[in-house]
Copies of this chain bind each other. A is one copy, B any other.
Amino acid sequence: MVSAPTLGRRRQRRSGEREKSIRAAALRIFRQKGYHAASMQNIADAVGLYKGSLYYYVSSKEELLVRLFEGRADQVLGELRVITDGTGTCTEQLRAMVRAYVLGVLRNLDSVRVYLHEEHVLPPAALRHVHAEQRTMRDLFEGVIDDGMRDGTFVGTDPKLAALALLGMCTWVHRWYRPRGRLTETAIADDFAERAIRMLNV
């Protein structure tokens, strides 16, 4: 037993695809019915397996949920940091941030809905991590708003409250947006970016 037996390439790929399809089905079904109302049987049906067979890929239902949360905020957080580390004015930065955030929500609707709706099911460690992500997100907006207030670009008394107002407006789109609706993603993002600026000017 010198070297671990190499897994066949085709098998490995098929197995990886199966795992992905399980996670995709779980995401969709958790979003539709909610975590508690969704059963392992539902997920198994969706991928064409017996529910017991899911445990070849997944150790528990809870783990399945926890993994759905992992890395979900990274892309938007990265985009936001690139913007705040850049050279734009406060107004330009905030406009770009709102755009990135709203597009992030609109382009990952299922993930966002599960992320916001099933938070309370997470085990303590995972929950703390999610809360930390949300705090970071808030801090990034608050920082730009605070900068703008200091240099007179923005007016108002409470950057924290302003950030919460702004994030609320942007986050709430996940509740009413329908992919084939009247408005395009970018139309909404641009409108909200403009509205955010107005909200902070006098």
CB-based contact A168/B172 at 8 Å: yes
Q: How far is the CA of A139 from the CA of B98 in the complex (A)?
A: 26
Q: Which of A131-181 contact B (CB under 8 A)?
A: 157-158, 161-162, 164-173, 175-176
Q: For the complex, is A51 an interface residue (Cβ under 8 Å from B)?
A: no
CB-based contact A165/B161 at 8 Å: no
Residue of B whose beta carbon sits closest to that of A35: B36
Copies in the complex: 2
From A8-16, A61-69, A81-89, A193-201, the one touching the partner chain is A193-201
Chain B residue contacts of A164, Cβ below 8 A? 172-173, 176
Q: How far is the CA of A195 from the CA of B195 in the complex (A)?
A: 10
Chain B residue contacts of A4, Cβ below 8 A? none
Q: Which of A72-129 contact B (CB under 8 A)?
A: 117, 120-121
CB-based contact B36/A195 at 8 Å: no
